[in-house]
């Protein structure tokens, strides 16, 4: 006679289970924000003028470009790739945008065309990176290193190796706008990019596939999806955000420059890694990336206010990046024990 009794009910969660879930939440999602809070409090009590409203506005303005670049970089790193070209692509886009806005057209036409030109130029560069890397199976490190030089050279050629000034006054005024006296317009642009990226990664099938490609692209292939298509899309998004970062750069400094993005790619990668992403792919958070970008800028500003010399600041920030990777390694080991 067959047993028709229902299976025993699952055991109710115990207090230890609740503690484990809380620990996982704090370690995985809140750890980087706790680190940001701690660093901010340290500088607030030790660095003169750090906690003033003027300095906070300055930090928000300075953080905007790296936040936008790092948002796109998050997509690429989640797939297990890397993009070393975003700084040079951003420089090329600033030149393209500035040339359009100083071409003699009416500002009502030149400004939207410049925005579109920056975004399109960045997206095309990103698409080329992804297509070459996947079609010929070339490591993204090498492909984007080549694009770094191509974009940098193109920016110098287009600008005749000079800075482009004379942007429309309406554009300049928007870049200087402080909304409600507390929110710089360019930081609002950066926040909008972060929110869109968060929504895509958190609530869409595309976002889940980006994580899956980084974790195991062969499993993605066996499930009927093309992992190369998602990798190309990730690089295209990264290039697009480089174009948006160029718009933010133009809003902030009001110039197009062929040397605008030198070193910016390293800051973007650092923000993503400090935010908890893995260079192996499949793990990370765009909200964590925002916190990582904040940590980098808070460190730079706080050290400057404390009088730390420019020669020592890169050493300290580099040590923080290495420490973040080491801490993340131990965090992952601890999380595996909690499962």
Nearest to 86 by CA among 152, 19, 170, 171: 152
Nearest to 75 by CA among 33, 110, 126: 126
- Digit-coded pLDDT (tens) for 57-103: 999 999 999 999 999 999 999 999 999 999 999 999 999 999 999 99
* 3-state secondary structure (DSSP) of residue 178: strand
For 57, residues 6+ apart whose C-beta sits below 8 A from its C-beta are 178, 182, 184
**What per-residue confidence (pLDDT) applies to 213?**
97
Q: Can you tell me the distance from the alpha carbon of 296 to that of 115, in angstroms, rounded to the nearest whole number? A: 28
Per run of 10 residues, the mean pLDDT along the chain (length 339 residues) is: 46 55 59 89 94 94 97 98 98 98 93 98 98 97 97 97 96 94 94 97 96 94 95 98 98 96 94 91 93 95 92 88 80 69
Is residue 31, in this structure, part of any structural domain at all? no
**What per-residue confidence (pLDDT) applies to 27?**
59
Is residue 86, in this structure, part of any structural domain at all? yes
- With left for phi above 0 and alpha for psi between -120 and 50, is residue 178 left, alpha or beta? beta
Is residue 41, in this structure, part of any structural domain at all? no
Nearest to 169 by CA among 110, 119, 120, 117: 110
**What per-residue confidence (pLDDT) applies to 17?**
60
**What per-residue confidence (pLDDT) applies to 190?**
98
- Digit-coded pLDDT (tens) for 295-337: 999 999 999 999 998 899 889 888 988 888 787 777 777 767 7
Is residue 7, in this structure, part of any structural domain at all? no
Q: How far is C-alpha 48 from the chain's CA centre?
A: 29
**What per-residue confidence (pLDDT) applies to 333?**
73
**What per-residue confidence (pLDDT) applies to 24?**
56
Q: Tokens 């800051």 sit at which residue?
A: 267
**What per-residue confidence (pLDDT) applies to 339?**
62
Is residue 25, in this structure, part of any structural domain at all? no
178: its two tokens: 């402080």
Is residue 11, in this structure, part of any structural domain at all? no
Is residue 327, in this structure, part of any structural domain at all? yes
- CATH number at 296 reads 1.10.3470
How many domains does the chain divide into? Answer: 1
Is residue 264, in this structure, part of any structural domain at all? yes
Domain range holding 191? 51-338
Q: How far is C-alpha 103 from the chain's CA centre?
A: 31
Q: Can you tell me the distance from the alpha carbon of 171 to that of 54, in angstroms, rounded to the nearest whole number? A: 23
């Amino acid at each position: 006679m067959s047993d028709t009794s229902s299976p025993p009910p699952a055991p109710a969660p115990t207090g230890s289970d609740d503690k484990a879930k809380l620990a996982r939440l704090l370690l995985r999602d809140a750890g980087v924000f706790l680190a940001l809070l701690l660093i901010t409090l340290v500088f607030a009590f030790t660095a003169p003028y750090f906690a003033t409203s003027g300095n906070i506005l300055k930090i928000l303005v300075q953080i905007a470009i790296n936040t936008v670049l790092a948002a796109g970089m998050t997509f690429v790193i989640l797939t297990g790739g890397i993009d070393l070209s975003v700084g040079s692509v951003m420089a090329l886009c600033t030149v393209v945008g500035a040339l359009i806005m100083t071409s003699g057209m009416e500002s009502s036409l030149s400004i939207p065309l410049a925005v579109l030109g920056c975004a399109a130029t960045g997206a095309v560069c990103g698409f080329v990176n992804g297509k070459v890397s996947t079609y010929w199976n070339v490591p993204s490190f090498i492909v984007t290193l080549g694009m770094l030089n191509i974009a940098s050279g193109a920016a110098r050629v287009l600008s005749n190796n000079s800075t482009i000034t004379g942007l429309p006054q309406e554009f300049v005024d928007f870049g200087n706008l402080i909304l409600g006296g507390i929110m710089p317009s360019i930081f609002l642009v950066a926040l909008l990019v972060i929110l869109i990226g968060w929504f895509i990664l958190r609530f869409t099938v595309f976002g889940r596939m980006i994580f899956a490609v980084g974790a195991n692209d062969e499993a993605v292939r066996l499930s009927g999806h093309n992992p190369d298509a998602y990798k190309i899309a990730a690089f295209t998004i990264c290039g697009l955000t480089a174009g948006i970062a160029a718009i933010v750069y133009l809003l902030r400094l009001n110039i197009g420059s062929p040397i605008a993005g030198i070193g910016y790619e390293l800051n973007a990668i650092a923000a993503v890694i400090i935010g908890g992403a893995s260079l192996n792919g499949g793990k990370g958070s765009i909200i964590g990336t925002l916190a990582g970008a904040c940590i980098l800028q808070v460190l730079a500003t706080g050290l400057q206010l404390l009088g730390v010399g420019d020669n020592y600041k890169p050493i300290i920030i580099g040590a923080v990046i290495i420490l973040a990777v080491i801490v993340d390694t131990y965090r992952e080991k601890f999380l595996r024990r909690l499962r």
